[in-house]
Amino acid sequence: MSVTGAAAYKKRAGMLSIQEELLPPILVWKSIDSSVPVPVVELPLRTLTNLQATPVTLEKMMLKVVSKGPEDPETLVTTVFSFNHRPTMNNIRDALQQIISRQKTVIQPGLSPAPGDATQANDAPANGSLGTFSSTDSLTEAKLLRNHTLQQKLLRAQPALFTAFQETVIKGGLHPDEFWSTRIHLLRTFALESSQRRGPYNVLSTIKTVATSDNQVNVSISIDKIQAIFEQYPVVRKAYDENVPKLSEGEFWTRFFCSKLFRKLKGEKIGVYDKGDLILDKYCLINLDYLEKEDEEDEEHIPRFLDLEGNKDDNSQKLGNGPDVTMKGDNNPEIVLILRSMNKLSTKIVSNCVPHGETFEELEKEKEEELEFKDLEETQPMSYIELHVNSQHNSNSSKTDTEVTIADADKVDAGLPEFKEKMKDYFTTELDLTELYSAPSRKRSAEEAFKDTIQMIKANTKQLKQTWNVTSVESLFSGVSVVNVTTDIDSSLPDADLETLRLTQATSMEFLKHFWVNFTNRKGVSAAGNPAMVRKLYASLKKCQERVESSIQLVAAQNPVKPEPETEKSEGEAVEKPVDNVHERHARDYMGSISRSLLVAIDSYESAVKKVGGVL
């Protein structure tokens, strides 16, 4: 099948042929006249780098082949062949072009998967070390706490968690185990998640060729994809085994994706004029079924059970080829071929999915168990926990509660009966509703009420300003009400400063959590707990207090208050405290709850220490 054509070299007539079957494949020019002592030109196809042909418009038909020098790959050798028949030249040019482009793409698959491979290779052992979660005991708290690889991976996967870790453990001096002990559930889910494996799937259909602008076709495949291809298509492995030492790895795959074999396996139609690949297309002729049979070592199993309920209608043999679409005579043979290969693939994938260890014998055993008499066995009654909600309790308690409040309010209640009598006289005379606005005292009060309302609305407007535009537009279209919109925060502070405050808050929360866990000795087995740890955490809380204060100062320092007469006027508070830094006040407001929480925790510890007569 080698491409040949008449061509002149150095004005001597001869035959030019591309011999791909040879090893290494070469481009050969031989003089027709064997008597003339013209040396045979041989160019190894692998050394070809460039090709140039005279355009159609010119009468001259010449083909310039640029190749690397035989000794020194740096020097380029140019060989010019001239033709007298254009189709011949085009034919040879096309063939060479394909070869050269193949040569070029060969390099890329060889190189480009490399980084991918590296990560894959890195992942594999990592997965191996974490991936042994088949048994539940590796998910125990102790083991998870010891699995540092897992922890690192989780930190890498979750930047927010990483920041928390950095702040509390790396900078704050919290023990890593302490940090993870409250996040066991995260570790556990992550361990389970990362040990998930992808099952078999139709590999070839996932391989997409991407055409680039310079008329090249790129295919990217990874190692595991190649392995999956080998697994699913033994014929490809066979081809690979037989050819790869000869061809380079990359070239093999380039050829494969251009070959008819690829299209056949993929289940595509193969046109008569489709270009294939010389080397790989011959594998199309191999009986694929036979090859796959070789792989199957399973011996035939004879089922020991007969389904007596089945009748003759269930006997598929009697139906002949009727139900099988691929066995109908009037079908397009090409479609049948595709259907068959798809069916074969599906069967294969499904058979691979049989849960591990479920052998034929086990299936038989299952059936045997099904036949056992079970109806005489004792059934276990479903047991529910009955929940008796003692609602009486609530009202009882409330009664005592109100009794207390009434006892407190005894003095006030002295006038109660009298007041009740007065109330009874409320609605004996006609009410004058106009008085609501006409009476001077109520009119004044209404004005005050108006001011009150307006002030609140103004305060709210200020807070909502930032979220307002977004929410109102959103609610217009989606119907989401303001209720669900968490009014994020005041707009007066820049995002970076808010982030600082948030980080300080989160860090303090972290320490608080650990403090309470240890202080109240929730986890500890011994009654004594771990006083040293609590003491350390107490010190950390103290530090947190400082941090909160300094972060507020930082925000205040970075946002010097600008004289804004209009806002100063509109806000009553600002007028009362002229030196007040609005930003600092806001920052203080945001950090208010965390400072309070820190105070409560610190107070609790200090009072506890004082009670036992200790020194802080």
Partner 1 sequence: MDAIAESVFDNTMPHAAVDDTPSHLSVILETSAAGWLAIPQTTLKQVSEALLVALNAHLASNTSNQVSVLASGVQRSEFLFPTPEDTHAKHHNGTSTLVSSKLYSLFRHVDEEVLHRLDAHIQTEGNGCDKGTLAGGTSMALAYIRRCQAETAALKARILIISITDDSAIPYIPVMNCIFAAQKMKTSIDVCQLGPASSFLQQAADATGGVYMDVKHPQGLIQYLTTAFFVDTSLRPFMVLPSQNNVDFRASCFVTGGVVERGYVCGVCLCILKDVPQRNFCPVCGSRFDDLVISKLRRGPVVTRKKKRKTDALQTPLTPAAEQPEAVTDD
Residues 465-524 that bind partner 1 (CB under 8 A): 468, 471-472, 475-476, 478-484, 487, 509, 516, 518-522, 524
User: Binding of partner 1 at residue 384 (CB under 8 A)?
Assistant: no
Distance of closest approach, residue 424 Cβ to partner 1, in angstroms: 6
Token readout for 365 is 């055993």
Q: How far is the CB of 486 from partner 1 (least distance, A)?
A: 9
Of the ranges 76-84, 266-274, 301-309, 461-469, which one interacts with partner 1 (CB under 8 A)? Answer: 461-469
What CA–CA distances, in Å, run from 30 to 6, 70, 404, 551? 10, 19, 118, 86
Q: Does 410 bind partner 1 (CB under 8 A)?
A: no
Closer residue to partner 1 (CB): 273 or 426:
426
Of 205-213, 227-235, 298-306, 596-604, which segment contacts partner 1 by CB under 8 A? Answer: 596-604
Query: Least distance from C-beta 574 to partner 1, angstroms?
Result: 18
| Options 76, 319, 436, 557; binder of partner 1; rule CB under 8 A | 436
Tell whether residue 412 is a contact of partner 1 (CB under 8 A). yes
Shortest distance (Å) from residue 429 CB to partner 1: 8
Residue 608 found at the interface with partner 1 (CB under 8 A):
yes
DSSP state of 48: E
**Options 324, 368, 403, 488; binder of partner 1; rule CB under 8 A:** 403
Q: With binding defined as CB under 8 A, does residue 453 bind partner 1? A: yes
Give the separation between CA 208 and CA 6, rounded to whole angstroms. Answer: 39
Neighbours of 378 (CB within 10 A): 5
Q: How many residues bind partner 1 (CB under 8 A)?
A: 95
| 23: contact with partner 1 by CB under 8 A | no
On the CB side of 483, CA atoms within 13 Å amount to 3
The burial of 534, by beta-carbon neighbours within 10 Å (0-12 exposed, 13-18 middle, 19 or more buried), is given as: buried
CA 57 to chain centre: 56
Length of the chain: 616
Q: Does 355 bind partner 1 (CB under 8 A)?
A: no
- Using the rule CB under 8 A, is 389 a contact of partner 1? yes
109/121 Cα distance (integer angstroms): 17
**Among 117, 362, 368, 435, interactor with partner 1 by CB under 8 A:** 435
Q: Is 118 in the site for partner 1 (CB under 8 A)?
A: no
413 binds partner 1 (CB under 8 A): yes
Please state at what angle helix 113-130 crosses helix 184-194, rounded to 10 degrees.
130
Q: How far is the CB of 538 from partner 1 (least distance, A)?
A: 10
60 binds partner 1 (CB under 8 A): no
With CB under 8 A as the contact rule, the residue among 358, 447, 499, 564 that binds partner 1 is 447
Considering the rule CB under 8 A, would residue 430 count as an interface residue with partner 1? yes
Tokens matching residue 84? 């007298």
Q: Tell me which residue has tokens 């609790």.
A: 604
CB-count exposure of residue 232 (10 Å: 0-12, 13-18, 19+):
buried
List Cβ neighbours of 47 (8 Å cut-off, separation of 6 or more).
67, 68, 70, 73
Residues 360 to 379: which contact partner 1 by CB under 8 A?
Answer: none
From the list 206, 347, 445, 550, which residue makes contact with partner 1 (rule: CB under 8 A)? 445
Shortest Å, Cβ 207 to partner 1: 44
- Rounded to a whole number of angstroms, the distance between the first and last alpha carbons of the chain is 94
Q: Which is nearer to partner 1, 315 or 478 (CB)?
A: 478
Q: Annotate 594-616 with DSSP letters as a single string.
A: HHHHHHHHHHHHHHHHHHTT---
Residues 547-586, one symbol each (x = binds partner 1 by CB under 8 A, - = not), give: ----------------------------------------
Applying CB under 8 A, among 208, 393, 411, 562 the residue interacting with partner 1 is 393
In terms of CB distance, is 242 or 403 closer to partner 1?
403
Alpha-carbon gap, residue 583 to 563, rounded angstroms: 13
- Exactly one of 411, 527, 546, 562 binds partner 1 (CB under 8 A); that residue is 527
Q: How far apart are CA 390 and CA 388, in angstroms?
A: 6
CB of 551 to partner 1, least distance (A): 17
Residue 16 forms beta bridges with which residues? 5, 29
Cis peptide bond upstream of 24, omega within 30: yes
Q: Does 456 bind partner 1 (CB under 8 A)?
A: yes
DSSP-derived letter for residue 228 is: H
What is the rounded distance in angstroms from the CA atom of residue 285 to the CA atom of residue 289? Answer: 11
Helical segments of 131-279, H only: 141-146, 148-157, 159-165, 176-181, 184-194, 203-206, 223-232, 234-243, 249-258, 260-266
Burial class of residue 342 (count of CB atoms within 10 Å of its CB; 0-12, 13-18, 19+): middle
Nearer to partner 1, 244 or 449 (CB): 449
Residue 383 in contact with partner 1, rule: CB under 8 A = no
- With respect to partner 1, which residue has the nearer C-beta, 305 or 419? 419
Among 433, 562, 578, 579, binds partner 1 (CB under 8 A): 433
By CB under 8 A, tell whether 142 contacts partner 1. no
Q: Is the dihedral of CA 115, 117, 120, 124 positive or negative?
A: negative
Cβ proximity to partner 1: between 324 and 488 the closer is 488
| DSSP alpha helix (H) spans, 313-372 | 333-352, 360-371
Among candidate residues 205, 187, 184, 203, the one with its CA nearest the CA of residue 195 = 187
- Is residue 535 part of the contact set for partner 1 (CB under 8 A)? yes
Taking contact as CB under 8 A, which single stretch among the options 272-280, 315-323, 349-357, 436-444 is the one that binds partner 1? 436-444
Select 366 or 603, whichever has its Cβ closest to partner 1. Answer: 603
- Which two structure tokens, joined as six digits, stand for 429? 């005379």
With contacts defined by CB under 8 A, name the span among 186-194, 220-228, 355-363, 383-391 that binds partner 1.
383-391
Contact between 213 and partner 1 by CB under 8 A: the answer reads no
Give whichever of 345 and 493 is closer to partner 1, judged by the CB atom: 493
Cβ count within 10 A of residue 599: 12
Using CB under 8 A as the binding rule, whether residue 461 contacts partner 1 is answered as yes
CB-based contacts of 556: which residues, under 8 Å, 6+ apart?
581, 583, 584, 587
- 289 forms part of the interface with partner 1 (CB under 8 A): no
